[in-house]
Amino acid sequence: MKLRKTAFHTCDVLVIGGGGAGLRSAIEARLQGASVMLVSKSRVGHAANTYISKSNIATSGLGDGRDNHVVHFMDTLRGGRNINDSELVMAMTE
């Protein structure tokens, strides 16, 4: 077995995940002056949930009086193709 040389990298902030939250975190850390490294298992911005969900953001109460946390809950489940953890979604939307 041939051994490969190991590379070492240093940074102030290591962001794991190249989706919307990871990218936004990396941007903010850099704006605060930190050296940032972002690690993603695939092409950054193209395989995370943000990409899969087409960046749809569900929320409640923005201008429609019929909207509430139950509608937000259902929208979030639908957006997650019903594979999300419904208990966690309920906790978040309440």
Average pLDDT of the chain is 84
- Distance between CA atoms of residues 73 and 69, nearest Å: 6
Model confidence at 45, in pLDDT bands (50, 70, 90)?
low
Q: How many CA atoms lie within 13 A of 50 on its CB side?
A: 12
pTM of the shown model: 0.53
Higher-confidence position of 61 and 92: 92
pLDDT digits (tens, 9 = 90+) for 12-39: 999 998 888 888 999 999 999 999 999 9
62 pLDDT more than 70: no
